[in-house]
Structure formats: C-alpha cells, structure tokens
Amino acid sequence: MSIPDPPWHSRRRTLHGRGRRIPRPPITQERIVEAALTLLRREGYDAVTMRRLATELGTGPASMYAHVENKRELDQLVINEVIDPTLIPDADPERWQEQLKESMRAMFRMFRAHPGVARATMGLVPTGPNALRSVERTLAILKAGKVPDQIAAWACDLIPLYVTALAYEESLPQVEGDPGWGADFVEELRGYFGSLPVEQFPLLVAMAVPLTSGGPDERFEFGISVIVEGIAALSR
C-alpha cells in the first residue's frame, strides 16, 4: 500500500506515457532526482542547480519545470531520498535514551556525508515517506521510554531541529576562507576572548578556555545530552 500524497503537493501528472524514444530516454521526475543525488554526493549541494541538472541530463533548464514544480519541491524529493529510517533502532525500553542519541548521531552523520543538505532541510515539514518512517520510529522509542504523548510529539519536532541547525551551522564557512573550526581559528578566538577588557567582560576573559574548548563532535554530544536529559526530566 502506497502512501498518499500530502494534500499541498502539486498533483504530479503522469505525462509522457508513450514517448519511448530510444536515442534519449524521456526526462522523468525519477531521473531528475537520481541525477540530483549523484551530483549531490559528488560535488555537494551547491552544485545542484537547475541549470547544472539540466546539463547533466543533456537538456536546458526549462525542461525541469515540467516534472518538478520548484527548486524547493526538488529539494524535498532529494532530502527524502537521503533520509534513511533504518538507521533509527528498534525501540528498546531499557535503552531508550541511548537510542535517541544514536538516532541523532546517525542523522548528523548523514548531514556530514551530504554537505549543504542541512540548509535545504531547515524549515521543511517532513512529509516524504522516509521522513514519515523516521518520525514513526522515533515515536516508538519515545513511547518505549514512557514519554507522555504531547512531549513525545514536540520532541519529534525539536530533535531534528537541533541536529539540522547544528549541521547547517557547521556547513557554513566560518570567516571567508575555509578554516571552519580548525585549531588555528580556535586559538585565535581563544586569544581574542582572553584579550578583552576585564572590567567589561570578567567572565568571558576568565572562561576563554572552556568557551573555546571542544570540537564540533563534543558540541554535538553536549547538545544531544541536554535534549535527552531535558525530555526525560519533563516526562517525570
């Protein structure tokens, strides 16, 4: 049994039924999404433009709009393809907190493997089949932890929001070069905090080290710990 389309999706017309020309196969939504995926994995999200996709399929940009409403709709389709609900473990009441964390780590790894996708994901209500399956499985874990319904529901909103936001932030070039969060940048930042006027910023100066400690992974681990602990606390 297939999942019905969400009501606000444009009805996809099942056009080009007969075409079947041999020399170049007809352009379909599937082929577009497929091309977008390989391009995404090879060169990152910024390379996935309508023009580039058209070139990749051997045509012009206008041809895309017969099969996809928008760049945004294409993003939706691509994102859904990138989501893998099987990475969310089967609910185990004994380990629900660790399972939540593991789910978030898996999602984070996915974003890292597909740089730029986080930006496109932000603010999307999960409606694709794989996104729905992910929510379903996450709900199972939360219910196994005896989290009340309303809290579990909101948690399904909060968890991807956090993971997506952190991945998005991480994917942005920090200054203008590429440094990201390299050791040199951290060093610079730490020195800067330490050099601030003490009268105005006593705590920033005193805490320059902890403020700049920990790489992206530790920041991420801290965040998921806070969230899981918070959910557990509110569930009592």
Partner DNA sequence: GCGTTGTATCGAACATCGTTCTATACCCGA
Partner DNA sequence: TCGGGTATAGAACGATGTTCGATACAACGC
Could you list the residues that contact DNA (CB under 7 A)? 13, 15-16, 18-21, 24, 26-27, 48-52, 58-67, 70-72
Q: Does 186 bind a copy of itself (CB under 8 A)?
A: no
The per-residue DSSP string of 64-96 comes to GGGT-S-HHHHHHHHHHHH--GGGSPPP-GGGH
Q: Shortest distance, CB of residue 17 to DNA, whole angstroms?
A: 7
Taking CB under 8 A as the criterion, which residues in 112-151 touch a copy of itself? 122-123, 125, 127, 132-133, 135-136, 139-140, 143, 149-151
Q: Would you say 28 or 127 has its CB closer to DNA?
A: 28
Answer whether 32's CB lies under 8 Å from 61's CB: no
How far, in Å, CA of 41 to CA of 62, rounded?
A: 24
Assess 14 for contact with a copy of itself (CB under 8 A).
Answer: no
Instruction: Work out whether 4 is an interface residue with a copy of itself (CB under 8 A).
Output: yes
Q: Nearest Cα to 67, choosing from 19, 16, 20?
A: 16
Q: Residue 233 binds which entry of a copy of itself, DNA, none, with Cβ cut-offs from 5 to 8 Å by kind?
A: a copy of itself
72 versus 109: smaller Cβ distance to DNA: 72
Nearer to a copy of itself, 38 or 225 (CB): 225
Residue type for 87, please?
L
State in angstroms the smallest separation of the CB of 103 from a copy of itself. 15
Work out how close the CB of 57 gets to DNA at its nearest, in angstroms, rounded to a whole number: 7
Residue numbers 78-117 binding a copy of itself by CB under 8 A: none
Q: How far is the CB of 32 from DNA (least distance, A)?
A: 10
> Could you please report the per-residue DSSP string of 134-156?
HHHHHHHHHHHTT--HHHHHHHH
Spatial distance between the Cα atoms of 206 and 209, rounded to a whole number of angstroms: 8
The contact mask relative to a copy of itself for 158-177 (x = CB under 8 A, - = no) is x--xx-xxx-xxx-x-xxx-
Give whichever of 43 and 218 is closer to DNA, judged by the CB atom.
43
DSSP result, 11-57: PPP----S---SSSPPP-HHHHHHHHHHHHHHH-GGG--HHHHHHHT
Residue 69 has a CB neighbour count (10 Å cut-off) of 13
Q: Cα separation of 33 and 219, whole Å? A: 33
